[in-house]
Amino acid sequence: MTHLDYPRGYARARLPNGNRQSPAHASRSAVPGWLDPEDRPVFVTAHPPYFARIYVPPAGKGLAGHYEIGLTHQSRRDLLTDLEARIGRGRGFAVATLNLDHVVKLRHSARFREAYDAHSHIVADGNPIVWLARMAGQDVKLTPGSELVLPVAEMAARTGVSLGLFGGTPESLAQARTAIETHAPDARVANCLAPPVGFDPDGTDAEVFISTMQESDAAIWLLALGAPKQEILASRAFARMPDRGFLSVGAGLDFIAGCQRRAPGVVRSLALEWAWRMAGDPARLAPRYGKCIAILPKLAEAALLQRSELQGR
């Protein structure tokens, strides 16, 4: 069996007849090393391989044709260790952090699924994802993307590579840059790119920005656009620059810049950060979280189905 030389996330469709294929890259299952003889993804990391799967039900009724999202690392520590090892070897990565809002969008957007399928690393960002994985019999730790900004800055400083920041406004990026360089004095932010309002990650502006990234000294880019824009941009940039790192961090740059206030620790410990955020912006976030809550029963059903399948092996 031939192994891939880096961990791959995957989003594959389970067809009604029980076969699986990638929704966007059906031919990938034929690539040597993509699947082992028992039809399981193979991940080669700095640690022994670990992965879990989240079943994503289709937009219609029932569970036939659901998607599987592979979580490539159990914890933040495992993820960061792997990323640092890759950067040290001159290899890149694209990190997506799966949360319930992503699941809702993945059910309806083939383009978003295609972008997820192109990511090398996927971790659990959001307590519901952790709970669903555990309900399915898989031990996964919470790894919020917004909490990866400063640890990745420290990693960049240790490995001697530069960072690039993408998203927000010139003012917020300048504040984020100051926060990063204050927290990790040896870290260097080589570029700060603020896209225009209405930025399309599949548009001509994106092509210009990707070319700018390619010309930059930055080896790791922190993308703060929100989903699905940041994941689509990451997938495109990673395809062009497989030796660079791309990490989608959502509001992470705004948090360290002080442009957005993070929920207090006690609120986060109670898994109520979503309520805190919704209270601050109900018009925008109430519909989003309403869709997330509405899909939970179906996700729980899918997780129990997955658990029964795992126990039956």
224 domain-assigned: yes
Range of the domain at 176: 11-267
CB-based contacts of 180, cutoff 8 Å, min separation 6: 149, 150, 153, 163, 187, 189, 256
Decide if pLDDT at 45 tops 90: no
The answer to whether the CB of 257 falls within 8 A of the CB of 246 is no
**Cβ neighbourhood burial of 150 (10 Å; 0-12, 13-18, 19+):** middle
Alpha helix positions (H), 75-122: 76-88, 100-108, 110-117
- Return the pLDDT at 178: 98
126 domain-assigned: yes
289 domain-assigned: no
Decide if pLDDT at 162 tops 50: yes
> Over the range 217-248, which residues count as b (16 or more CB within 10 Å of their CB) and which as e?
ebbbbbbbbebbbbbbbbbbbbeebeebbbbb
- Return the pLDDT at 166: 98
- Return the pLDDT at 60: 64
309 domain-assigned: no
Instruction: Round to whole Å and give the CA distance between 288 and 101.
Output: 7
Q: Which of 250, 133, 292, 256 is nearest to 183 (CA)?
A: 256
Q: Which of 37-41, 72-76, 83-87, 116-120 comes out lowest in average pLDDT? A: 37-41
Percent of the chain with pLDDT over 90: 62
Count of positions (residues) in the chain: 313
- Return the pLDDT at 62: 55
| Stretch 135-157: mean pLDDT | 95
Decide if pLDDT at 163 tops 80: yes
Predicted confidence (pLDDT) per residue in 207-225, tens digit: 999 999 999 999 999 999 9
Cβ atoms within 10 A of the Cβ of 258, count?
13
- Return the pLDDT at 37: 32
Question: What ranges make up the beta strands (E) of 89-146?
Answer: 93-98, 121-124
Q: Which of 41-45, 61-65, 265-269, 286-290 comes out lowest in average pLDDT? A: 41-45
Residue with tokens 């955020």: 277
Decide if pLDDT at 264 tops 90: no
250 domain-assigned: yes
- Return the pLDDT at 61: 61
175 domain-assigned: yes
pTM for the model: 0.83
Q: What is the number of structural domains in the chain? A: 1
CA neighbours closer than 13 Å in the CB half-sphere of residue 174: 3
Decide if pLDDT at 65 tops 80: no
Predicted confidence (pLDDT) per residue in 23-35, tens digit: 333 323 222 222 3
292 domain-assigned: no
Q: What is the CA radius of gyration of the chain?
A: 19
Decide if pLDDT at 87 tops 80: yes
Q: Which of 212-216, 268-272, 291-295 comes out lowest in average pLDDT? A: 268-272
158 domain-assigned: yes
